[in-house]
Amino acid sequence: MKQNTLAVLLFSCLPLSCGPLTDFRELLEPDLVPPCLIGVRSVNSTEIELEFDEIPVSQPDWLKLYPQGNILSLSRNDLVLTILVDQQKPG
């Protein structure tokens, strides 16, 4: 009798619905495609905005500037990554 009661309790705890099953592949498989660069905009002589198709994750050590320059800071606002750099020399 105890086994039957346990089986009834287990089935009563399971969620029953007619909706689609959750796709767990996204949870198990990592996203291996990097964000795609959509646009670049120079805000002023020390600020550059990069717009991506998905949220970018970056650190100053991961970026290189050509011609050589120092990255002072990075900030992210949703899909836009803003890079603050040293004053650039014309030419």
d(CA 22, CA 31): 18
Q: Which fold has domain 2-85?
A: Immunoglobulin-like (2.60.40)
Boundaries of every domain in the chain = 2-85
pLDDT band with cut points at 50, 70 and 90 for residue 6: very low
Integer Cα distance of 86 and 67 in angstroms: 12
**Cβ atoms within 10 Å of 70's Cβ, excluding its own:** 9
Predicted model pTM: 0.60
For 18-55, write each residue's pLDDT tens digit.
555 566 666 677 777 888 999 999 898 889 999 999 98
